[in-house]
Amino acid sequence: MPDATPDSPTPQPPAAETAAPPTSSSTLEPSPQPWMGLDMRNPELIVDLFNKAAELNRTSKLLKGSTVHLPGAGNLVMTGDLHDHGPNLNRVLNLAKIHESPDNHVILHEVIHGESFVNNCDLSVRMLAKIAALKVAFPDQVHLLQSNHELAQYRGDGILKGNVSVVKAFDDGLDYIYSDNAEMVRKAVRAFIRTYPLAVRAPRGILFIHSLPGQRQMEKFDPGILDRELTDADLEPGGNGYVLVWGRYQSQELCDKLAAAWDVNLFVCGHQPAEMGYEMMTRTLMILASNHEHGMALPLDLSKKYDMDKLVELLVPLAAMPG
């Protein structure tokens, strides 16, 4: 396999959870874990679940262009990358309490491609199915962000982590779980990922987004992408959506330009390393990570305006939450 920077794209050609008997995804109960009772090994059920969730992404009443606009009141929990960390997903949901009130919201992104493999296969399709189940059960409260790992899986690109192509390992996982039905699940996964919005906007000046363009991409980047529907070209290498989710090492000057273009004050992102659960990339850009023992989540009151110091005060270590 060719050498590559970890977690960086390398060109490649496109390419069970034990549970009760199959349950229709249209009857998911409003609980912290609405996927309980779903047979994750049933390809028809999982395809149906991804299709329902994709349609809800497309038709969300909060979606304008490629941005979800949150209401002016309620509560929100923002996460960083999850990467198939099941215990931290449960902790995030215990914090967000979306099952307790329709005014509670959660943002999730980069949920696939974890560290644990079975027979050299990545089985994080099960985590993706859980996220789809959440979207079906709480369509106006669960908000997904396009990320570089999901986009790579959609496109069939290669991402090397520890000299392993995680995109291929995910595809191998589909073959491992679904055998002859793997291809129809693969198509449903891609269709679901294609419907992810790029950003979630809070009403008082915070933009939640997987990442921002890097410095070298800014000259050709069109900030207007957040106000329009995504095209296939946006998600190709060099496209506006592609450079948005892959960008790293932003400067304060870059953040200031985008803040002015988008009329926001603060950015909360994932994508970049944060060994202690968060990192201040600039004075207006916070990086979150939710995929390890120091993972963090950020709970907010949507009716309030915040500065960065207050956001840091509000961070919750996920290890302190029940799993």
- Structural domains for the chain: 17-156+174-320 (3.60.21.10)
What is the Cα–Cα distance from 252 to 255, expressed in whole angstroms? 5
Q: What pLDDT is attached to residue 16? A: 38
Interstrand relation of 296-301 and 75-79 (parallel, antiparallel or unpaired)? antiparallel
Q: Tell me, what's the pLDDT at 27?
A: 53
Consecutive H or E run containing 147? none
Side-chain half-sphere CA neighbours of 323 within 13 A: 8
DSSP 179: G
Per-residue pLDDT of the chain (323 residues; tens, 9 = 90+): 333 434 544 333 333 343 333 344 445 656 778 998 889 999 999 999 999 999 999 999 999 999 999 999 999 999 999 999 999 999 999 999 999 999 999 999 999 999 888 988 999 999 999 999 999 999 999 999 999 999 999 999 988 877 789 999 999 999 999 999 999 999 999 999 999 999 999 999 999 999 999 999 998 999 999 999 999 999 999 999 999 999 999 999 999 999 999 999 999 999 999 999 999 999 999 999 999 999 999 999 999 999 999 999 999 999 999 87
CA distance 167 to 174: 11
Residues 264, 44 contacting (CB under 8 angstroms)? no
Q: Quick one: which of 298, 294, 209 has its CA closest to 259?
A: 209
Please tell me the distance from the alpha carbon of residue 299 to that of residue 133, in angstroms, as a whole number.
22
Per-residue pLDDT tens for 156-185? Answer: 998 887 778 999 999 999 999 999 999 999
- Closest CA relative to residue 228, chosen from 40, 39, 64: 64
